[in-house]
Chains A and B, each alone.
Chain A
Amino acid sequence: MPTYVLTSKCKGCMECVRICPSDIMHIDPGQGRAYNIEPSMCWECFACVKACPEAAIEVRGYADFAPLHHRVVPTRTPERIEWKITMRDGSLKEFAYPIRTTPWGSIRPPQESPAPEGSALGSELLSFEPDYLAVEALPTLPRPASGGT
């Protein structure tokens, strides 16, 4: 279901160009607006649709198996994503789901925690273990004597 860009809404801000994982949203030099340069490499991931500040990008299902006359439109806020799905008979479905339980930007980087002891580098423990495992100790096993089969 490749993306398409509405002429009336796109302002050429490049957000879709910045985010597209497939590098297929480009600016058309003639009109200064975005378009999908390679629909056969579009994964329908909606990354550009969600990122567009003008709601200028939508998706039309792949022509080889998706009949026309449908819409799937997300609206993403910092807390949730809302979906409006228009079925081919015109009926509308609406869903909303949370996307994050904490404020964006609130993750504490690893370098802000106390530096580990030098000797810990030789242990099997990863950062914040065993605390974050929520069990007493990291599990281990006796090494097979000469390799079982």
Chain B
Amino acid sequence: MEDGRPSQPKVVDCDILIVGGGFAGCGAAFEARYWGRDLKIVVAEKAAIERSGAVAQGLSAINCYMGMRWDENKPEDFVRYVRNDLMGLSREDLVYDVARHVDSTVHMFEEWGLPIFTDPQTGRYVREGRWQIMIHGESYKPLIAEATRKAASEVHERVMVTHLLPDARDPHRVAGAVGINVRTGAFTVFRAKAVIVSAAGASHIYRPRSAGEGSGRTWYPPWATGSAYALLIQMGAEMTQMENRLVVTRFKDGYGPVGAWFLLLKAVATNAAGENFEVNRLPELRERVGKYADAKPMPTCLRNHIMLQEIQEGHGPILLHTERVLDTPEKVSIGWEDFLNMTIGQAVTWASQGIEPTKTPSELILSEPYVMGSHAVCAGAWTSGPADVAPDGYQWTYNRMTTIQGLFGAGDTVGGSAHKFSSGSYTEGRLAGKAAVAYLRDHPDAPTVPEGLLDSLQQNLFAPMERYESRRGLVTAGTVNPEILYPDQGLHRLEKIMDEYGGGVGSNYTTNAHLLERGLAHLALLRKDLEDVAARDLHQLQRAWELQHRLWTAEAVLRHTLFRQETRWPGYYYRSDFPKVDDEKWHCFVNSVYDPGTGQWKLFTRPYHALF
């Protein structure tokens, strides 16, 4: 091609393709290699795996560890905790499965060289909270990446995977994936017998609180673009809990984490008058959510709700009293390390604003919403559970296989499987990796990519660059062109639509059926405009496809939110037309299937089954 891009596709044949080299993908590569010594296992990653995914920056804690060897917790205890925290709606078979395996993952990490805080008296890991342990985690991701590089046959970096490929004979079977190498410009085709999608959830679906260059300061990273969902939705995979978006309590502006401050350092939050505001709000909460108001510990969304009420009634700012707990040099060091290992921007915020945490409290705020599946929420694909424990209806095939044959999920991709965090996502990757090997032993024949599909995809993938060349000359210079939508312009429109119609910070997390219908209509207009999206270079081409993935994710969020006629998770979002929890009608999953043939969405419910 004229601009030096290779015109021939780069074709990679493999047994197992892993899409996304974050924690879940790294776990999948490791485990697949253990069981499949002879297999070609390929990882596709849009960045470099030493610093990709949600743990690129590092972490200061592992938030999912049972401590079974010290009788600290049983997997059932974890299921009860997650059941409460998700207001009664998680796939308990998947949660249990992660919990019973996660300790082996953490012990392996420690052996590899991850520094875990250990109590010299007891020899046990230092607990931040009941499920959390403290780590010196600046190099958590490079450490895990080292094992991945050794386990995988090939790691293809700077490849943005845009679409999964269906089998020519069976559109409900996966045959691989395609993407763009944003360095060479190669159209990259992965032909695979099994695919594990371990891509990311999504930031920048909703307008962030910060503005201008500060809009990079999202809680989940800006490179989390919803590929976990968009890839699967377009294949016709069944999705669940897409309405279950996440809002997190964080230090204002810098978005530093609060876990270590509340749980380990025992700091308290008050309103501006210095009052503890949680107790006074329990009666209102019981009226709204019933029995869930008294769950211990209080569900994450309800803690958000109480803070939000306090702020809306004018009692802010909410202050976290760091100054009352930093009474030793060790605690001061732990407090700073908590940020420096995982949210360095908060340390910059303190330095720039002159906040001395030993002397002054810091403001807390509620973030904009995020769509993901590994924190205190569980959006994602409907997958089969483990054969030995899953209730009827939750197990029909290999563990973590979606409703598409040969297509597995792990991490943010798997719905209903909340509170995995880093260790649990890696563990879920291991589960999917092993299951994919078992699937391959039973299905050794390779699927076939439909003829003609690759040509049309190649043309489609690079069309924004052709468009730029053919339309740029209409205007003298600049970014205003009546025939072009640039990716950042489309992203701002998406964020505005979701903020104002889908319950973002600008609408106090509140929406209703009318607003959601309007929001969907605006998304349809945006989808039409994406036929005019243009990219002047390969970087912008990546942004164009990231925007497509975010749009698919956003549409699923609005459709699910519209279908669920209740407010299941106050503090995450509110349906003003159905403001209460309605267990009688809605203690069930909302699922959806998009039909790529007709372009129609089908929404329906699936029953909730308790594991015990």
Chain A residues close to B by CB (< 8 Å)? 1-2, 18-24, 26, 37-47, 51, 59, 61-72, 74, 76, 81, 83, 85-89, 93, 95, 97-107, 109-111, 113, 115-116, 121-122, 124, 126-130, 132-135, 138-141, 143-144, 146-149
Bound: A45/B103 CA distance, A: 28
Taking CB as reference atom, which chain A residue is nearest B610? A148
Bound: A8/B33 CA distance, A: 46
Taking CB as reference atom, which chain B residue is nearest A105? B146
Contact assessment for B100 and A40 in the assembled complex, using a CB-CB cutoff below 8 Å: no
Contact assessment for A19 and B50 in the assembled complex, using a CB-CB cutoff below 8 Å: yes
- Measured between beta carbons, the chain B residues less than 8 angstroms from A59 are 344, 348
Taking CB as reference atom, which chain A residue is nearest B76? A141
Q: Mark interface residues in B150-174 (1 if CB within 8 Å of A CB, else 0).
A: 1100000010000000000000000
Contact assessment for A134 and B68 in the assembled complex, using a CB-CB cutoff below 8 Å: yes
Which of B345, B349, B612 meets A148, CB within 8 Å? B612
Contact assessment for A127 and B112 in the assembled complex, using a CB-CB cutoff below 8 Å: no
- Measured between beta carbons, the chain A residues less than 8 angstroms from B216 are 2, 22, 39-44, 62
Bound: A72/B352 CA distance, A: 10
Interface positions of B from 343 to 361, Cβ below 8 Å from A: 344-345, 347-354, 356
Q: Mark interface residues in B170-196 (1 if CB within 8 Å of A CB, else 0).
A: 000000000000100000000000000
Bound: A118/B75 CA distance, A: 28
Interface residue B450 (Cβ < 8 Å from any Cβ of A): no
Bound: A101/B112 CA distance, A: 8
Taking CB as reference atom, which chain B residue is nearest A134? B69
Which of B212, B356, B388, B609 meets A63, CB within 8 Å? B212
**Shortest Cβ distance from B352 into chain A, in angstroms?**
4
Interface residue B443 (Cβ < 8 Å from any Cβ of A): no
Given contacts A68-B352, A129-B101, A147-B607, contact A102 B210 (CB under 8 A): no
Bound: A40/B222 CA distance, A: 9
Given contacts A111-B151, A134-B107, A148-B609, contact A61 B115 (CB under 8 A): no
Closest CB pairs A-B (n = 6): A102-B113, A109-B150, A134-B69, A62-B214, A64-B214, A132-B104
Contact assessment for A135 and B136 in the assembled complex, using a CB-CB cutoff below 8 Å: no
Interface residue B3 (Cβ < 8 Å from any Cβ of A): no
- Measured between beta carbons, the chain B residues less than 8 angstroms from A46 are 57, 344
Interface residue B562 (Cβ < 8 Å from any Cβ of A): no
- Measured between beta carbons, the chain A residues less than 8 angstroms from B114 are 100-101
Interface residue B553 (Cβ < 8 Å from any Cβ of A): no
Bound: A99/B108 CA distance, A: 16
Interface residue B274 (Cβ < 8 Å from any Cβ of A): no
Given contacts A72-B351, A95-B336, A135-B68, contact A126 B431 (CB under 8 A): yes
Bound: A135/B66 CA distance, A: 12
Chain B residues close to A by CB (< 8 Å)? 30-31, 33-35, 37, 46-48, 50-53, 56-57, 68-69, 74-76, 96, 100-101, 103-104, 107-108, 112-115, 136, 138-139, 143, 146-147, 150-151, 158, 182, 210-218, 221-223, 253, 333, 336-337, 340-341, 344-345, 347-354, 356, 386-394, 427, 430-431, 434, 437-438, 441, 488, 539, 542, 587, 607-612
Q: Chain B contact residues: over half helix, strand or loop, or mixed?
A: helix
**Shortest Cβ distance from A137 into chain B, in angstroms?**
10
Taking CB as reference atom, which chain B residue is nearest A18? B48
Contact assessment for B389 and A143 in the assembled complex, using a CB-CB cutoff below 8 Å: yes
Contact assessment for B69 and A135 in the assembled complex, using a CB-CB cutoff below 8 Å: yes
20 A/B residue pairs, CB under 8 Å, sorted by A: A21-B56, A23-B158, A43-B216, A64-B211, A65-B349, A66-B253, A66-B353, A72-B351, A109-B33, A111-B37, A111-B151, A133-B68, A139-B74, A139-B75, A141-B612, A146-B392, A147-B391, A147-B394, A149-B607, A149-B610
Contact assessment for A121 and B434 in the assembled complex, using a CB-CB cutoff below 8 Å: yes
- Measured between beta carbons, the chain B residues less than 8 angstroms from A19 are 47-48, 50-51
Contact assessment for A23 and B539 in the assembled complex, using a CB-CB cutoff below 8 Å: yes
Contact assessment for B138 and A149 in the assembled complex, using a CB-CB cutoff below 8 Å: no
Taking CB as reference atom, which chain B residue is nearest A91? B356
- Measured between beta carbons, the chain B residues less than 8 angstroms from A23 are 46-47, 158, 182, 223, 539, 542
Bound: A104/B431 CA distance, A: 27
Contact assessment for A62 and B100 in the assembled complex, using a CB-CB cutoff below 8 Å: no
Which of A41, A97, A129, A143 meets B337, CB within 8 Å? A97
- Measured between beta carbons, the chain B residues less than 8 angstroms from A134 are 68-69, 103, 107
- Measured between beta carbons, the chain B residues less than 8 angstroms from A64 are 210-214
**Shortest Cβ distance from B203 into chain A, in angstroms?**
9
